[in-house]
Amino acid sequence: MNRKFNICNISMIVCSFCLVGLTSCKKNNVEPHSKDGKAIIYIGTYDGGVGYEWINTICNRFNEQFADYTDPQLESQGLKGVEFRVDPNESYYGENLESGLTADIYFTEMVDYAYYARKGIFLDITDTVTSSLSDVGDTGTIADKLDSNLKSFLTCIDNKYYGLPFYEGFYNLMYDVDLFDKEQLFFDSDGVIGETSESANLSKGPDNVAGTWDDGLPRTYEEFDVLMDNLSGSYTPIVLTGGTTSYVNRYIQNHFVNYEGKEQSMLNYNFNGVATDLGTVTSTGVANKDEQTTPISQYSEGVELQRQLGKYYALDFLKNHMMNGNLKTASSHKEAQKDFISTKYGNNRKEYAYGLIVEGSWWENEASTYLKADEAKGGGKLNRRFGVLPIPKQSEEKLGEKQTVISLNSSFCFVAKNTTYPELSKKVLKFFHTNKSLSSFTTSTSTTRAFSYTIEDSDAPNCSYFAHQLIEMKKTCDIVYPYSSDSHVLDKKTNFKMDNYPWAIGITTSNVFDQFNNGLETPVSYFEKMYTYAKQWWDK
Amino acid sequence: MTKALLGNRNKTKSSTSSKKDKIFFYALIILPLVQFLIFYVYVNFNSILLSFQKYDSSSAGFIFLTDNVFKNYQGVFELGNLGLDLGKLILNSVILWVCMVAFGTIPAIIFSFYIYRKRTLYHFFKFFLFLPSIIPSILLTTVFKGFMIDCVSNIMSMLGTTFKTSNGLLDPYSDTAFPVLLIYYIWISFGAQVLFYSNAMAQTSPSLVEASQLDGCGEGRILLHVVLPGIMPTVKTFIIASIAGLFTNQMLLFNFYGTIDNAPNIATIGYFIYSMAAPGPSNYDNYPLMSAFGLLCSIIAISAIFVINKIFKRFEK
């Protein structure tokens, strides 16, 4: 009896271990359809700043529009209609996807798109992207809404689409318009600080065009210093979200691309063109631009791009303008957001009263709990006015050049190849990319998606001030999507990770902020080391 | 006839019983065997193969090096050119090991002896010293980190000490982080050692201890001349086994900081390999180089094990 019990027991333990292993390989859709005969679509999303409420909104609209949806596959199974199950989970981070896709559709970030597409775990959605959107109530195709560089990256595997970009990851300095009004921190047309946002005499901003979203804000590094001086009297000028200092390194990539412009910046990823901005910097920080331009026609020549002067000016901005006693690291990003939001009310001590916050474009959605609590004071998401500080130009000569920003985070959406309902999943994905759905996303999350779209009239009143700012920024700026289909880049993926490229100066050293903060490097030495280090690994 | 029948029945019974024994035996060993085959044989074999391969994006996998099969091994010796302070990393790893042996093993033996001799509150000490080994390390690290940053560093700030960052004493770029982390790691590893040694001491014959007491030995002499020789094989095993971890011990740095930038003040070889070969496809191109590095470290560690073993043997003579 005892022995029998032991054998059974041990066998069960062994089997359960094996089952645990096997279940991780199997799709988790234990329920492919509901009891009332509806197909169930599982939508997995990374449970981060962008959140998931927006998915529910779009799914509800899908069900309104396609209440009795059916297709040959569903018909053959006697199913009609769709039930959506949204699964927000931190384990759906792009790096973890290899352990198995358990949902049908994913919206997530830090996705190694080329790797997963090649691995064959994403469904080919070329027909969805290139066919007309008319069946889901829109015009044109999804491909029409895509940036050309993004298009060529997305089709780098077998010339097919295996995914689409998800949200745009802009790292910026965010400011509170009301606080700036209260302290009169806007610049007039003569470049003198002391105006409010309502003033008729605002400067034209870095884009040098009147009537745009950047009016009255610092146009040059010099004006940025003036803003810092004015803020430092009563506030901590800039707060860096705690926990990770990498946000600031990502932010200064904007300075590099803004100086270089989209074409020169994209050379870093397509290695095809003529570099016009290479140079050296003297030990005193004087930049000397090369007299001749440098043709870049292949990957091996790309190493020279580490001498792009825009990279030096970005380093210079961080060290000599941002960190010049202006920057504080908060203990956590939540704490930084909370204190930044409440600064306007004047109750915070100076060390917790922040003028600007270094954040990602999803921050307002991430801070929704604090904004909700703020409603009692007459605040709340729709009543607060947060803005994006435009990237100041390095010098006055650069004023008027088109602003350029960079979208990071490798955020993509895709259909799992092992989806239970391939056609239905593609249809749903298509529905998520109509203008109405894209507009709904921005309204709900105050974040933008990497497509060309407009905010629907019905959504506009429900969009926060910050969301409108992002939309305006998108309209007036060139956007760099830092992806490359070059095989060398895909092979040396660590070196080309967003936190390593272009800032790496050693195999484990790419955090500019930490290097400056600890007095280990200066902008000049850092710039030199970027080039020296690149020469060590570029062709190996 | 009846005898023959009974004999057959007994035979059948015994063959059924031996069959059941076999099933029981196989059921018992199959899991550890499978684990051994996968995690020891396959993983290590794969690591050796990886050290002769490179990542290939066109197949989303690894392919064998053809032009220079030792490229990854060459790469290990060129890590210095890539800005890695390898000397400092080795030094930190060695300091960690030496401190673990010197400040971990000796106090652990003394405490184990205290517990073995059932002195005042020995149950209490046994429980509390072993507690860190039971609590998940990530939880304990979070608590410790909070204590060091929010409490100790804040108090020090109030008393006039200035810190460069909000990490206070645990700022990875400061000189204070490494000693603090070292003390924490020794403390957290203490319980396991105490458990090992107190169990080994329990095997010491009580009559030997009684005899030495009758001969007038104090507690120190009992420890040195009676108990310690008895547990010496355990101490030896513990020290030799710890050498195997010389280049893999990451001192819980990942729990404290995740992946941090160049921080030679605190980084160990184990942490470097761990952070470079973190799970996820975006790090796959590092795996071959790290495999080669790991293999070279293993060769050094194995050599060190032979040397230490020889030293022990010489002392035994």
Is residue B30 domain-resident? no
Quick: pLDDT tens for A89-121.
988 999 889 888 999 999 999 999 999 999 999
| Single residue among A399, A422, A446 that ends a domain in this structure | A399
pLDDT tens per residue across span A128-151:
999 999 999 999 999 999 999 999
Å between B185 CA and nearest CA of chain A = 22
Contacts of B275 in chain A (CB under 8 A): 508
d(CA A434, CA B196): 65
Domain count of the fold of chain A: 3
- Write down the mean pLDDT value for chain B: 88
**Residues A110 and A71 both lie in one domain:** yes
Whether A474 maps to a domain, the answer reads no
pLDDT at A23: 44
Residues A236 and B227: their CA atoms lie apart, in Å, by 62
Indicate the range of A150-154, A228-232, B127-131 predicted with least confidence: B127-131
Q: Of B81, B164, B261, which has the smallest distance from its Cβ to A509's Cβ?
A: B261
The C-alpha of B178 sits at a distance from chain A's nearest C-alpha, in angstroms, of 16
Res. B27 pLDDT band, cuts 50 70 90: confident
In sign, the C-alpha dihedral spanning A270, A271, A277, A280 is positive
- Distances, alpha carbon A125 to alpha carbons A122, A130, A352, in Å: 9, 9, 48
> Can you give the pLDDT at residue A22?
45
| pLDDT for res B260 | 81
Whether B229 maps to a domain, the answer reads yes
| Residue A1 forms part of a structural domain | no
- Asked if pLDDT for residue A29 goes beyond 70, the answer is no
Q: What pLDDT is recorded for position B285?
A: 95
Q: A109 in a domain, yes or no?
A: yes
In angstroms, the Cα distances linking A89 to A45, A282, A421, B34 are: 6, 49, 22, 31
Q: Which of A7, A329, A494 is nearest residue B283 as measured by Cβ atoms?
A: A494
B chain contacts of residue A511, beta-carbon cutoff 8 Å: 260-262
Q: Please answer whether residues B77 and B159 qualify as being in contact, where contact means their C-beta atoms are separated by less than 8 angstroms.
A: no
Residues from chain B that touch A7, judged by Cβ atoms under 8 A, are 20, 23-24, 27
Q: Are A217 and A337 in contact (CB under 8 A)?
A: no
Contact B57 A540 (CB under 8 A): no
Span A437-490, pLDDT tens digits: 999 999 999 999 999 999 999 999 999 999 999 999 999 999 999 999 999 999
**In this model, does residue A72 exceed pLDDT 90?**
yes
Question: B124 in a domain, yes or no?
Answer: yes
What pLDDT, on a 0 to 100 scale, did the predictor assign at position B7? 57
pLDDT, average across residues B94-113: 91
The residues, any chain, with a CB within 8 Å of residue B314's CB and separated by 6 or more, are none
**Is position A10 within any domain?**
no
Indicate whether B213 belongs to any domain. yes
User: Which residues have a Cβ under 8 Å from the Cβ of A47 and sit 6 or more positions away?
Assistant: A88, A89, A90, A92
pLDDT of residue A1: 44
- The dihedral over CA atoms of B151, B153, B155, B156, expressed in degrees to the nearest 10, equals 160
pLDDT band at A506 (very low <50, low <70, confident <90, very high): very high
The model's confidence at residue B5, banded by pLDDT at 50, 70 and 90, is: low
Q: Are residues A237 and A353 in the same domain?
A: yes
User: Do A7 and B20 count as a contact with CB atoms less than 8 A apart?
Assistant: yes
B54 assigned to some structural domain = no
State the smallest CA–CA distance between residue B258 and chain A in angstroms: 10
Smallest CA–CA distance, residue B80 to chain A, in Å, is: 9
Exposure string for A287-298, b = 16+ CB within 10 A, e = fewer = beeeeeebebee
Question: Residue A524 pLDDT more than 70?
Answer: yes
Distance CA B267, CA B187 (A): 19
Residues B197-226, mean pLDDT to the nearest whole number: 89
Helix, strand or coil, per DSSP, at residue B22: helix
Residue-wise pLDDT tens digits, A197-246? 999 999 999 999 999 999 999 999 999 999 999 999 999 999 998 767 88
Assess whether pLDDT exceeds 60 at residue B103.
yes
Q: Are residues A258 and A177 in the same domain?
A: no
CB contact under 8 A, A493 and B173: no
Choose from A244, A507, A511, A535 for mutation: most chain B CBs within 10 A: A507
Question: Cβ contact (<8 Å) for B281 and A115?
Answer: yes
* pLDDT for position A213: 95
The C-alpha of A270 sits at a distance from chain B's nearest C-alpha, in angstroms, of 17
Q: What is the pLDDT of residues A299-349, one digit of tens each?
A: 999 999 999 999 999 999 999 999 988 998 887 899 999 999 999 998 888
Quote the pLDDT of residue A98.
86
Nearest alpha carbon to residue B264 among B82, B34, B120, B91 = B91
Report yes or no on A9 lying in a domain: no
Tokens of B254: 């990942």
- Per-residue model confidence as pLDDT tens digits over A176-198: 999 999 999 999 999 999 999 99
For residues A441 and A522, state if they share a domain: no
CA–CA distances in Å: residue A223 to residues A185, A192, A217, A285: 11, 9, 8, 20
Domain boundary among A372, A399, A426: A399
Cross-chain Cβ contact B285/A533 below 8 Å = no
Judge if A331 and A291 occupy the same domain: no
ipTM over 0.90 threshold: no
Query: A492: distance to nearest CA of chain B, Å?
Result: 6
Q: What is the mean pLDDT of residues B89-109?
A: 92
| Residue A162 and residue A182 in one domain | no
Q: Which residues of A touch B68 (CB under 8 A)?
A: none
Of residues B27, B267, B280, nearest to A7 (C-beta): B27
For residue A238, what are the β-bridge partners?
A327, A356
- Residue A3 predicted with pLDDT over 90: no
CATH number at residue A148: 3.40.190.10
Q: If pLDDT is split at 50, 70 and 90, which confidence band does B82 have?
A: very high
Range of the domain at B143: 84-276
| Alpha-carbon gap: A536 to the closest alpha carbon of chain B (Å) | 7
Is B157 inside a domain boundary? Answer: yes
Tell me how many domains chain B contains. Answer: 1
- Is the pLDDT assigned to residue B218 strictly greater than 60? yes
- Whole-number pLDDT of residue A151: 96
Angle at A498 between CA A125 and CA A164, to 5 degrees: 15
What is the Cα–Cα distance from A287 to A302, expressed in whole angstroms? 20
Closest residue in A to B62 (Cα) is A491
| Residue B2 resides in a domain | no
Give the number of beta-carbon pairs within 8 Å between A and B: 114
Residue A38 included in any domain: yes
Cα-flanking dihedrals φ and ψ of residue B254, to 5°?
-65, -35
Nearest-angstrom CA–CA distance, A163 and A93: 15
B29, pLDDT greater than 70? yes
The answer as to whether A14 is a domain residue is: no
Angle CA(A45)–CA(B143)–CA(B244) in degrees, nearest 5?
90
Cα–Cα distance, B221 to B209 (Å, whole number):
10
Pair (A229, A352) in one structural domain: yes
Asked whether the beta carbons of A244 and A252 are under 8 A apart, the reply is: no
CA-wise closest residue to A89 among A41, A47, A42, A28: A47
Residue A18 lies in a domain: no
- Sequence-distant (6+) residues with CB within 8 A of B105 are B193, B235, B238, B239
Please check whether residues A207 and A161 belong to one and the same domain.
no
pLDDT of residue A494: 93
Q: Which of the residues B36, B262, B274, B286 would you substitute to probe the A interface, choosing the one with the greatest number of A C-beta atoms within 10 Å?
A: B262
b/e A413-450 (16+ beta carbons within 10 angstroms → b): bbbbebbbbbebbbbbbbbbbbbbbbbbbbbbbbbbbb
Q: What is the CA radius of gyration of chain A?
A: 25
Say if residues B198 and B116 touch (Cβ distance below 8 Å): yes
Q: Using CB atoms, which residue from A98, A515, A520 is nearest to B281?
A: A98
Q: Average model confidence (pLDDT) for chain A?
A: 92
The model's confidence at residue B12, banded by pLDDT at 50, 70 and 90, is low
Domain range enclosing A394: 171-242+327-399
Whether B232 is covered by a domain: the verdict is: yes
A520: which chain B residues are within 8 Å (Cβ-Cβ)? 173
pLDDT at A20 over 50: no
Q: What is the CATH number for B200?
A: 1.10.3720.10
Confidence band, pLDDT 50/70/90 cuts, at residue B104: confident
